[in-house]
Amino acid sequence: VFWDVSKHTVEQEITLRLPSDPFDSIHSAPIFSHDGRRILVLDTAGFVQVLAKTRQKWEFVNAFETGCAKAAFASNDEILSWSRADLSLRRPTQGDGKVMK
């Protein structure tokens, strides 16, 4: 079950900070979904990125390697489903993806 962000919109400043990383400002991005082990974020370049927790550190990983075939996030109470192909989309916008029933 992914973290419920239905009370937020994608445009809101929900940010992820990696203080131990020198490129912290680059990695700050809206969080799409969070299941405790993986976080789906939109980076400052407009690409969807996946972070996975290894030991006590969050690291950028390949979505295919983490088994993150589908990741869900909520936008204005509509939960959208993203497939592996969707993860490669540049600048996904509200309304992209499929509404989960």
Query: In whole numbers, what is the pLDDT of the chain averaged over residues?
Result: 46
| Spatial separation of the C-alpha atoms in residues 101 and 91, rounded to whole Å | 24
The H-or-E segment that residue 26 falls in is: helix 24-27
What 3-state DSSP class applies to 11? Answer: coil
Tell me phi and psi for residue 96, to 5 degrees. -70, 155
For 81, the token pair is 């489903």
Q: Is pLDDT above 50 for 60?
A: yes
pLDDT at 29: 47
Average pLDDT over residues 59-82: 42
* Digit-coded pLDDT (tens) for 87-100: 433 344 444 444 33
pLDDT at 51: 65
Q: Is pLDDT above 60 for 73?
A: no
